[in-house]
Amino acid sequence: MVSIQIRSLAREDKYARYEIMPLEPSFGITVGNALRRVLLNDIVGAAVTHVRIDGVLHEYTTIPGVKEDVIEILLNIKELAIR
């Protein structure tokens, strides 16, 4: 049985890089997916989840006097980075 070694390559406040070896072929993908799922569940953040615009019933509505349509406005809101 081969012992797996984990080596820390870089560690900072919001960044870390590790090397895990040796792994069986394609097992790195399995480990990577499991780590990704765990990390995404534990990352705290904020995001816009609802948008209400008076007079707009659905995303295909146009707003008088506004150049962008509602879909473009929603896509722009989706790109907001909240700190």
Tell me the pLDDT tens digit for each residue of 54-77.
Answer: 989 988 888 999 999 999 999 999
pLDDT digits (tens, 9 = 90+) for 40-55: 888 888 889 999 999 8
* The total number of structural domains that make up the chain: 2
Residues 11 and 35 placed together within one structural domain of the fold: yes
Identify whether residues 58 and 74 lie together within a single domain.
yes
One domain for residues 72 and 52: yes
The span from the CA of 59 to the CA of 31, in Å, is 39
52/64 same-domain check = yes
- Owning domain of residue 53: 46-83
50 shares its domain with 38: no
Considering the domain architecture, whether residues 54 and 33 belong to the same structural domain is answered as: no
State which amino acid sits at residue 58. Answer: H
pTM of the model: 0.50
Rg (CA), the chain: 22
